[in-house]
A and B are shown apart, each in its own frame.
Chain A
Amino acid sequence: MKTIVSESLLPRVAAGDERAVAECLDRYANLVWSLARRFTSDRSEAEDAVQEIFIELWSSASRYDSSKASETTFIAMVARRRLIDRLRKTRREPHMEELDVVMDLGTPGPVEATEAKDDAARASRLIKTLKPEQQKIIQLAVYQGHTHQSIADSLGMPLGTVKTHLRRGLMRVRTAMQEALP
């Protein structure tokens, strides 16, 4: 598969390069908007959230470290942190798919055609090696945004077991990402 390596924009954003800001928005607007729409069913809340996310991104661009993760992963992290905080404050479960849906990670999607390919593809390969139960818990918590308690209740599983699966799963993803670093 051909790998497309995109130029990092955040260092230029941090330096105040306005063209980089516009390019950054063009490149990542749909990613951030899709995340926001997945985390909230309220369109106006999603609009507020993405404005906050990008304001934070312009301010925090200098924190991006290409030795830690891809730019896409960093931006997804900034967006997720903001969306999770908003979700936690409203104390609502996100509007997402049913809990019993388990996604098949075997089908490559659009993100694999971008520079996020490295991190996301590594995460995908790693998650596929986990037990189905653990895959499902990671999907419910990370992708669908459910709380640990709601996952435990829905799956009839002790809360501690859910937390352990999540912690181990994320640590393994982290290790896989770091092993690939130069």
Chain B
Amino acid sequence: MSGQGRLLDLLTSRATEGLPKELSRELDAALGRQTDIGPHDLDLAAAAADLAFASSASVTEAMPADLKQLIMQQARAHLYRRTEAAPTTTAAMRKRGLFDAAYVGWYAAAAMLLLALWAPWSSGPEEPAALPSLAEQRELLIAGADDVIQVAWARPATEEYAHVAGDVVWSIQRQAGFMRLSGLPANRSSVEQYQLWIVDPSRDERPIDGGVFDIPAGVDEVLVPIDAKLRTDNPTVFAITLEQPGGVVVSDGPLLVVAPVDA
């Protein structure tokens, strides 16, 4: 079979029944050698054909409302992780009394600011899905998932972190979770950032990157969505380090606080 024929066979297989890893690698190499066909052309053609059949079948099932709400929560958490609000914004909002829940911190402030911005646009019959705060998302996760792990931060040995308190919640099924933190010293995000690590021995010897975050000055308690970079099915320890801005791939820094999961 010619190189072009083999390439089309692989693209057809990927678009219709999927490819094992070794054939995916072969496809990637083949795509790098020729330019006549786009890497996604047959996937798009299969999607269009699928839509054509689906259109004729006229079978559309509405997504359950609770699932839709959960996906919206996950989307907000995803976007918040990409959004950096200045601590001064938080301070200004606190002065205005825009929130007063004891454990809602910096991220929740950003959520409320966005909710306030949202309000003028959300009236009318085509109102988009309601957007709960991170605190509400956390509560919904705890209430809605039947596999939530909830563990407290262990009392650290070092003086600087001796007052850290809070907990971690994580749902394996939903691959979502939150850290609740108080007493963690504020960091200068231009110099260093906190980074969460998740130890999952069933996956890898190296801890999984759980995302970087900041603790702004003057905030008592912070709620941070966990941004696990890999699927985490068997977490045994959640740990926080202080790293360079943006975080690191492999940490050699000391574990500042940890939350062990009981076996």
List residues of chain A with CB under 8 Å of any chain B CB: 16, 18-19, 21-23, 25-26, 29-35, 37-38, 44, 47-48, 50-51, 54-55, 58-59, 68-69, 72-74, 76-77, 80-81, 84-85, 87-88, 103-112, 116, 119-124, 127, 138-139, 141-143, 145, 147-148, 163, 166-167, 169-171, 173-174, 177
The reply on B99 being an interface residue by CB < 8 A is: no
The reply on B12 being an interface residue by CB < 8 A is: yes
Cα(A171)–Cα(B211), bound, Å: 42
| Contact pick for A142, options B38, B46, B67, CB 8 Å | B46
What are some 30 contacts across the A-B interface (CB < 8 A)?
Answer: A19-B128, A22-B131, A25-B129, A29-B68, A33-B62, A35-B50, A73-B48, A73-B51, A77-B44, A80-B46, A80-B47, A81-B43, A105-B52, A107-B56, A110-B55, A116-B51, A119-B44, A123-B45, A123-B48, A124-B52, A124-B56, A138-B49, A141-B17, A142-B16, A143-B53, A148-B16, A170-B15, A171-B8, A174-B37, A174-B41
Interface residues of B in 12-49 (CB under 8 A from A): 12-20, 37-38, 40-49
Contacts of B16 in A (CB 8 A): 84, 141-142, 148, 166, 170
Cα(A146)–Cα(B201), bound, Å: 35
Cα(A145)–Cα(B195), bound, Å: 41
The reply on B173 being an interface residue by CB < 8 A is: yes
User: In the complex, are the beta carbons of B129 and A30 less than 8 A apart?
Assistant: no
* CB contact under 8 A between A177 and B121, given known A19-B128, A84-B17: no
User: In the complex, are the beta carbons of B74 and A148 less than 8 A apart?
Assistant: no
The reply on B59 being an interface residue by CB < 8 A is: yes
User: In the complex, are the beta carbons of A51 and B55 less than 8 A apart?
Assistant: no
Least Cβ–Cβ distance between B156 and chain A, in angstroms: 32
List residues of chain B with CB under 8 Å of any chain A CB: 8-9, 12-20, 37-38, 40-64, 67-68, 70-72, 74-76, 78-79, 82-83, 114, 118, 121, 126, 128-129, 131, 173-175
* CB contact under 8 A between A123 and B63, given known A18-B79, A22-B129, A171-B8: no
User: In the complex, are the beta carbons of A77 and B40 less than 8 A apart?
Assistant: yes
User: In the complex, are the beta carbons of A142 and B49 less than 8 A apart?
Assistant: yes
- Which B residue sits closest to A175, measured CB to CB? B45
Cα(A109)–Cα(B129), bound, Å: 26
Contacts of B175 in A (CB 8 A): 51
Cα(A104)–Cα(B52), bound, Å: 10
Least Cβ–Cβ distance between B8 and chain A, in angstroms: 5
Cα(A169)–Cα(B45), bound, Å: 9
Cα(A102)–Cα(B20), bound, Å: 29
Chain B binding surface, main DSSP class: helix
Q: Counting chain A CB atoms within 10 Å of each CB, which of B16, B49, B76 scores highest? A: B49
* CB contact under 8 A between A110 and B60, given known A121-B52, A142-B46: yes
Cα(A173)–Cα(B53), bound, Å: 13
User: In the complex, are the beta carbons of B74 and A54 less than 8 A apart?
Assistant: yes
Contacts of A143 in B (CB 8 A): 49-50, 53-54, 57
Cα(A91)–Cα(B125), bound, Å: 44
- Which B residue sits closest to A128, measured CB to CB? B52
* CB contact under 8 A between A177 and B75, given known A31-B60, A141-B17: no
- Which B residue sits closest to A57, measured CB to CB? B75
Cα(A127)–Cα(B47), bound, Å: 13
Contacts of B121 in A (CB 8 A): 19
Contacts of A106 in B (CB 8 A): 56
Contacts of A127 in B (CB 8 A): 49, 52
Contacts of B19 in A (CB 8 A): 88
User: In the complex, are the beta carbons of B46 and A29 less than 8 A apart?
Assistant: no
Contacts of A167 in B (CB 8 A): 8-9, 12
User: In the complex, are the beta carbons of A88 and B17 less than 8 A apart?
Assistant: yes
